[in-house]
């Protein structure tokens, strides 16, 4: 008697599809660990996590966007722009051009962080409005946003970096709690909150509904435009937070920061099993996707693979992961 | 009637000079002249279908239909929604392949594996939803797929423009061949499609509901074009519900009902009541078996919903589907809304529910004039809407049964969190009551059968406790058992005081569930009467004919 009647087979493949990114991640870890024992040292593992954390925060926001069938190409530019906003506040102005505080000293990290997050969120909300109300495709809106925000970042810093912040500012990027880097904790907190929002709240359900079938969502009383704008605001928030943490970690903010983050974040989401067609996936997958990307890059470095070859491999693995995902989904139907 | 039933599957019931009353649907086909009936001079038979059978997912949609088209013949293909007309067109044009029976072209068996094969054989279809390319110019659209090339293998634009102008000169000489197709009215787009057929040297032209959105003048023009085609020896299969047009344009007819050809012959030998009886035969039989319509025991006091002279906005290209619709609906009442495809039923519902803007007229809910800007506003006012297009407008594919059920937010969140337990309890109640068959509430909605999906969708809306529920085609494409469950549910919610607006193409369904029935014809309310004592024939007449 065969245990794989058609529904069983479909269920097996459905389970495989959900677990695929995790299996893939574990396989990579085992491969790298066996090739180079140094890979598994705690220091290296926290190193990976620290590297992952900033684009991981953004990837969490990107999960929401991709769940509603959207895309956001502006996140890298937003990271740079909001990082510079934080830097300007932290330094109390721009040297030689702008003085914000009476005595010329900087403001607290709280105000700096707020500036970064507000800048990011406002930019995200604006893009969301363009997508929802002007019906411009998200790809186009955020492609435009990408150069607009990069341009604004260049204007703020006048092309150069703004650096040198106080101890409290720097803690958010370089500090440790026990053995754990602070950015990793921020990433974990953002992911956990996002998970609760997506799985436990009305808004989370609306996100899935809009991505799964926007017409059905609208017909059921969901404010599709409102959800869209909120989701782009959310990824703006995540980018602003990421910009702050990055500026803190580097003790410097500059207009070229965050270059390429949009693709890394999208890759993490897609590798994590969230469908570009919207409606299926989640934050758990994205976290694994982000870790997988980080492990891959770190492992290749440790194995002394040339940086050029690394790029080739990462690209191929992204395509392979998505192809595999589609294959599994077809089987489980 | 023994001979009639034995002939049930065949349109051309063979030769036999018989005009007795029992056989009034089965007059001899005109190109098989028999008896004393003078036959119009048709040319040789071009396309012939014999005993075509087609099944979809085990359901027989077409059951042994025969039909022939001779040069110069204009044959009407009639039947109510779901009778098999579209399937017939798809078989004749190679979109689908028959599971049984045979197609013959010029007397030899032929098989169209794909639409292109039928196209090469000279069969052109002018579809209800025009298949033209909206962004191409008229000239390009006429020649799309067979653009004339010059000796360098590039498009020969001058030749193409000349040929396009020539093809349109008889049909509509004032169409600008350089204009984008999308800028033309529906009637003109049809002319472009006909021009396309002419340049393809089509020998058979199939027109699917060509007049659904045409003005009377445009219809008359189309009639002249069809006559021209016929004179030039083209065979035309004219698919329509509109009996007046069929009398004016067609020489022969075939009536489909439940996938069978139940009547056929010469249009001159029949009359409209007989055609209606042929189309509605099932309704009459089924309605006699159906339980009597429940007595309107509520129906007192102020109407819950009152619609006066509702009209959709004037479309840019004359596409105004709803022109003048009025009715009243009381608490606890089931109001049936009948009409043929394109009569404006769904459009009326969408306007009430705030999905589409209202052009003119008045909607009163509990006596208060309302116009909802969004479905959310309509839902807040106590209206629910189960749309016709389950896949496109209701289901969340890839999500669970539970999430599909909870979509309308019938259970309020607790402290910002979804109250999954209360939702599950509510769903479990519906699960048992409606007999939903699914592996579990966590199963993907797409793993359920159509009937079970529909039950989940209905539960989604009923859980909201609406005061008015609009249900569009509640049982389309679902099996008989589920259909009975859905009917029982609709009766029950009406008995609990919900006003139900029931849109359905299934006349027995409308007749057995409704307290009152209104019919729409071409966007206008054409009748409004209690369901008790109404006949399917009367309804069909109101749906299809000018009074």
Q: According to the per-residue pLDDT averaged within each range, which of A94-98, A165-169, B38-42 is highest?
A: A165-169
Q: According to the per-residue pLDDT averaged within each range, which of A34-38, A39-43, B349-353 is highest?
A: B349-353
Task: Please check whether residue A25 lies inside any domain of the structure.
Answer: no
User: What CATH number corresponds to the domain at position A148?
Assistant: 1.10.3470
Closest CA to B469 of B444, B443, B497, B447: B497
Query: Do residues B283 and B540 touch, judged by C-beta distance below 8 A?
Result: yes
Q: How far is A113 from chain B (nearest CA, A)?
A: 27
Q: What is the CA radius of gyration of chain B?
A: 25
Query: Do residues B286 and B331 touch, judged by C-beta distance below 8 A?
Result: no
Of the candidates B393, B403, B439, which has its C-beta nearest A219's C-beta?
A: B393
Which residues in A257-273 are b (16+ Cβ under 10 Å) and which e?
bbeebbbbbbbbbbbbb
ipTM of the complex: 0.87
Contacts of B36 (CB under 8 A, 6+ apart): B17
By C-alpha distance, the chain A residue nearest B385 is: A219
Whether residue A174 lies within 8 A of chain B, CB to CB, comes out as no
Contact across the interface for B395 and A200, Cβ inside 8 Å = no
What's the rounded Cα separation, in Å, for the pair B37 and A326?
64
Q: How many Cβ atoms sit within 10 Å of the Cβ of residue B546? A: 9
Where is pLDDT greater, at B182 or A126? A126
What residues in B contact A220, CB-CB < 8 Å?
375, 379, 407-409, 460
In this prediction, residues A60-78 reach a mean pLDDT of 97
Supply the DSSP string of A180-246, one letter for each residue.
EEHHHHHHHHHHHHHHHHHHHSHHHHHHHHHHH-HHHHHHTT--HHHHHHHHHHHHHHHHHHHHHHH
Vertex A168 angle, CA A164 and A172, to 5°: 90
Contacts of A68 (CB under 8 A, 6+ apart): A207, A210, A211, A227, A228, A231, A278
Can you list the residues of chain B whose pLDDT is less than 50? 1-38, 283, 285-299, 547
Restricting to A residues 211-250, those with a Cβ less than 8 Å away from any Cβ of B are 212-213, 215-223
Q: Mutation test of the interface with chain A: which of B352, B400, B405, B407, choosing the one with the most A Cβ atoms within 10 A? A: B407
In this prediction, residues A70-82 reach a mean pLDDT of 97
Q: What was the pLDDT predicted at A87?
A: 95
Calculate the average pLDDT of chain A.
90
Question: Given the DSSP bridges, would you call strands A176-177 and B383-386 parallel, antiparallel or unpaired?
Answer: unpaired
Closest CA to A269 of A289, A291, A251: A289
Contact across the interface for B407 and A217, Cβ inside 8 Å = yes
Query: Do residues A85 and A111 touch, judged by C-beta distance below 8 A?
Result: no
Q: Give B319-362 pLDDT, tens digit per residue.
A: 678 999 999 999 999 999 998 877 889 999 999 999 999 999 99
Closest CA to A137 of A272, A27, A232, A243: A232
Task: Please check whether residue A8 lies inside any domain of the structure.
Answer: no
Q: What was the pLDDT predicted at B130?
A: 66
What's the rounded Cα separation, in Å, for the pair A182 and A172?
6
Supply the DSSP string of B138-201, one letter for each residue.
HHHHHHTTS--B-TTSSB-HHHHHHHHHHHHHTT-TTS-TTSBGGGS-HHHHHHHHHHHHHHTT
HSE, side-chain direction, 13 A CA sphere, residue A12: 7
From residue B266, give the alpha-carbon distance in Å to each of B11, B74, B80, B236, B432.
11, 10, 19, 15, 54
Reduced to 3 states (helix: H, G, I; strand: E, B; else coil), residue B415 is coil
Task: Please check whether residue A34 lies inside any domain of the structure.
Answer: no
Contact across the interface for A205 and B418, Cβ inside 8 Å = yes
Task: Please check whether residue A310 lies inside any domain of the structure.
Answer: yes
Closest CA to B139 of B173, B165, B119: B165
Contact across the interface for A221 and B379, Cβ inside 8 Å = yes
By C-alpha distance, the chain A residue nearest B404 is: A209
Q: Which domain holds residue A110?
A: 44-331
Establish, for the pair of chains A and B, how many residue pairs have beta carbons separated by less than 8 Å.
77
Signed CA dihedral, B74, B80, B84, B90: sign only: positive
Total number of domains constituting chain A: 1
Task: Please state the φ and ψ torsions of residue A89, each to the nearest 5 degrees.
Answer: -65, -45
Query: Do residues B127 and B90 touch, judged by C-beta distance below 8 A?
Result: no
Reduced to 3 states (helix: H, G, I; strand: E, B; else coil), residue B233 is coil
Task: Please check whether residue A5 lies inside any domain of the structure.
Answer: no
What residues in A contact B379, CB-CB < 8 Å?
220-221
Q: What is the H or E stretch that residue A71 is in?
A: none
What domains does chain B contain, in order, with CATH numbers?
2-111+222-288 (3.40.50.300), 123-202 (no CATH), 304-382+466-479+493-547 (3.40.50.300), 391-464 (no CATH)
Contact across the interface for A213 and B396, Cβ inside 8 Å = yes
What residues in B contact A17, CB-CB < 8 Å?
none
Whether residue B379 lies within 8 A of chain A, CB to CB, comes out as yes
Q: How far is A183 from chain B (nearest CA, A)?
A: 28
pLDDT confidence bin for A333, thresholds 50/70/90: low
For residue B532, count CB atoms less than 10 angstroms from its CB and return exposed for 0-12, middle for 13-18, buried for 19 or more. Answer: middle
Query: Do residues B249 and B238 touch, judged by C-beta distance below 8 A?
Result: yes
By C-alpha distance, the chain A residue nearest B388 is: A216
By C-alpha distance, the chain A residue nearest B447 is: A333
What residues in B contact A213, CB-CB < 8 Å?
392-397
Task: Calculate what percentage of chain A has a pLDDT beyond 90.
Answer: 67
Q: What was the pLDDT predicted at A311?
A: 84
Task: Please check whether residue A16 lies inside any domain of the structure.
Answer: no
Reduced to 3 states (helix: H, G, I; strand: E, B; else coil), residue B74 is strand
Q: Give A135-145 pLDDT, tens digit per residue.
A: 999 999 999 99
Which residues in B47-85 are b (16+ Cβ under 10 Å) and which e?
bbbbbbbbeeeeebbbbbbbbbbbbbbbbbbbbbbbbbb
What's the rounded Cα separation, in Å, for the pair B539 and A21?
59
What residues in A contact B408, CB-CB < 8 Å?
220-221
Whether residue A15 lies within 8 A of chain B, CB to CB, comes out as no
Strand segments, DSSP code E, in B504-541 are 516-521, 524-530
From residue A95, give the alpha-carbon distance in Å to each of A89, A111, A168, A244.
12, 19, 21, 20
By C-alpha distance, the chain B residue nearest A274 is: B398
Supply the DSSP string of B83-98, one letter for each residue.
SSHHHHHHHHTTSS--
Task: Please check whether residue A302 lies inside any domain of the structure.
Answer: yes
Task: Please check whether residue A26 lies inside any domain of the structure.
Answer: no
Q: How far is B415 from chain A (nearest CA, A)?
A: 9
Q: How many Cβ atoms sit within 10 Å of the Cβ of residue A16? A: 14
Lowest mean pLDDT among A10-19, A87-96, B23-32, B318-327: B23-32
pLDDT confidence bin for A109, thresholds 50/70/90: very high
Whether residue B315 lies within 8 A of chain A, CB to CB, comes out as no
Which residues in B158-181 are b (16+ Cβ under 10 Å) and which e?
eebbebbbebbeebbeebebeeeb
Supply the DSSP string of B334-383, one letter for each residue.
EEEEE--TTSSHHHHHHHHTTSS---EEEEEETTEE---SSHHHHHHTTE
Supply the DSSP string of B460-495, one letter for each residue.
HHHTT--SEEEEESTTTT--HHHHHHHHHHHHHHHH
């Amino acid at each position: 008697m065969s245990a794989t009647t058609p529904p069983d087979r479909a269920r097996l493949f459905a389970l495989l599809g959900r677990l695929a990114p995790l299996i893939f991640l574990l396989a990579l870890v085992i491969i790298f660990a066996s090739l180079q024992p140094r890979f598994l040292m705690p220091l290296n593992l926290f190193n990976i996590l620290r590297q992952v954390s900033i684009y991981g925060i953004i990837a969490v926001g990107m999960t929401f966007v991709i769940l509603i069938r959207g895309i956001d190409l502006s996140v890298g530019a937003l990271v740079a722009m909001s990082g510079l906003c934080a830097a300007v506040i932290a330094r109390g102005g721009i040297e030689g051009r702008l003085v914000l505080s009476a005595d010329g000293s900087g403001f607290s990290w709280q105000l700096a962080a707020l500036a970064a997050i507000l800048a990011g969120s406002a930019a995200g909300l604006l893009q969301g409005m363009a997508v929802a109300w002007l019906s411009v495709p998200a790809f186009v809106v955020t492609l435009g946003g990408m150069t607009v925000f990069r341009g604004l970042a260049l204007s703020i810093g006048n092309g150069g970096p703004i650096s040198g912040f106080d101890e409290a500012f720097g803690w958010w990027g370089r500090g440790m709690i026990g053995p754990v880097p602070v950015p990793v904790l921020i990433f974990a907190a953002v992911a956990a909150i996002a998970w609760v929002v997506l799985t436990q709240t009305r808004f989370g359900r609306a996100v899935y509904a809009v991505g799964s079938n926007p017409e059905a969502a609208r017909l059921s009383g969901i404010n599709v435009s409102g959800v869209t704008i909120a989701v782009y605001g959310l990824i703006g928030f995540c980018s602003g937070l990421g910009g702050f943490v990055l500026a803190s970690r580097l003790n410097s903010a500059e207009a070229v920061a965050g270059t390429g983050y949009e693709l890394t974040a999208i890759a993490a989401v897609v590798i994590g099993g969230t469908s570009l067609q919207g409606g299926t996936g989640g934050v758990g997958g994205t976290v694994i996707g982000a870790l997988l990307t980080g492990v891959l890059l770190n492992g290749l470095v440790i194995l002394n693979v040339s940086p050029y070859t690394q790029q080739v491999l990462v690209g191929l693995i992204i395509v392979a992961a998505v192809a595999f995902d589609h294959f599994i989904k077809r089987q489980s139907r | 009637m023994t001979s009639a039933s034995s002939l049930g599957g065949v349109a051309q019931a063979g030769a036999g000079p018989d005009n007795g009353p029992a056989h009034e649907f089965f007059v001899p086909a005109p190109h098989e002249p028999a008896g004393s009936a003078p036959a119009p001079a048709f040319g040789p038979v071009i396309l012939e279908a014999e005993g075509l059978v087609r099944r979809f997912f085990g359901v027989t949609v077409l059951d042994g239909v025969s039909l022939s088209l001779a040069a110069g013949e204009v044959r009407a293909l009639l039947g109510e929604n779901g009778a098999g007309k579209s399937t017939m067109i798809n078989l004749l044009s190679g979109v689908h392949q028959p599971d049984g029976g045979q197609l013959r072209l010029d007397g030899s068996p032929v098989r169209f594996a794909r639409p292109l094969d039928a196209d090469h054989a000279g069969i052109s279809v002018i579809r209800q939803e025009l298949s033209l390319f909206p962004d191409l110019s008229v000239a390009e659209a006429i020649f799309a797929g067979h653009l004339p090339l010059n000796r360098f293998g590039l498009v020969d634009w001058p030749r193409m423009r000349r040929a396009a102008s020539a093809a349109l000169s008889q049909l509509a000489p004032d169409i600008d061949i350089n204009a984008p197709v999308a800028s033309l009215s529906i009637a003109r787009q049809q002319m472009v499609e006909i021009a396309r057929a002419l340049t393809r040297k089509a020998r058979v032209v199939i027109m699917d509901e060509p007049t659904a959105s045409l003005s009377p003048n445009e219809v008359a023009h189309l009639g002249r074009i069809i006559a021209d085609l016929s004179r030039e020896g083209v065979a035309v299969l004219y698919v329509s519900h509109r009996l007046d047009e069929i009398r004016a344009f067609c020489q022969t007819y075939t009536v489909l009902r439940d996938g069978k050809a139940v009547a056929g012959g010469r249009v001159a030998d029949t009359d409209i009541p007989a055609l209606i009886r042929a189309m509605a035969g099932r309704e009459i039989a089924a309605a006699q078996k159906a339980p009597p319509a429940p007595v309107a025991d509520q129906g007192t006091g102020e109407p819950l919903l009152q619609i006066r002279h509702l009209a959709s906005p004037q479309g840019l290209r004359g596409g105004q589907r709803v022109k003048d619709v009025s009715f009243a609906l009381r608490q606890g009442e089931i109001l049936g809304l009948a009409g043929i495809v394109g009569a404006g039923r769904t459009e009326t519902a969408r306007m009430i529910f705030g999905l589409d803007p209202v052009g003119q007229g008045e909607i009163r809910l509990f006596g208060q004039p309302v116009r909802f800007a969004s479905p959310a506003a309509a839902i807040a006012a106590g209206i629910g809407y189960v749309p016709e297009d389950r896949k496109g407008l209701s289901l969340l594919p890839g999500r669970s049964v539970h999430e599909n059920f909870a979509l309308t937010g019938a259970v309020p969140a607790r402290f910002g969190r979804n109250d999954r337990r209360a939702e599950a309890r509510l769903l479990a109640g519906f699960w048992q009551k409606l007999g939903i068959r699914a592996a579990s509430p966590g199963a993907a909605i797409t793993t359920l059968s159509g009937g079970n999906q529909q039950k989940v969708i209905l539960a989604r809306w009923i859980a909201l406790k609406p005061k008015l529920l609009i249900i569009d085609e509640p049982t389309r494409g679902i099996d008989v058992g589920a259909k009975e469950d859905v009917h029982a549910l609709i009766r029950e919610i009406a008995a609990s005081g919900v006003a139900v607006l029931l849109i359905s193409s299934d006349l027995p369904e409308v007749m057995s569930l409704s307290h009152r029935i209104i019919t729409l014809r071409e966007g206008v309310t054409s009748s409004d009467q209690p369901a008790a004592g109404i006949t399917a024939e009367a309804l069909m007449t109101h749906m299809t004919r000018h009074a």
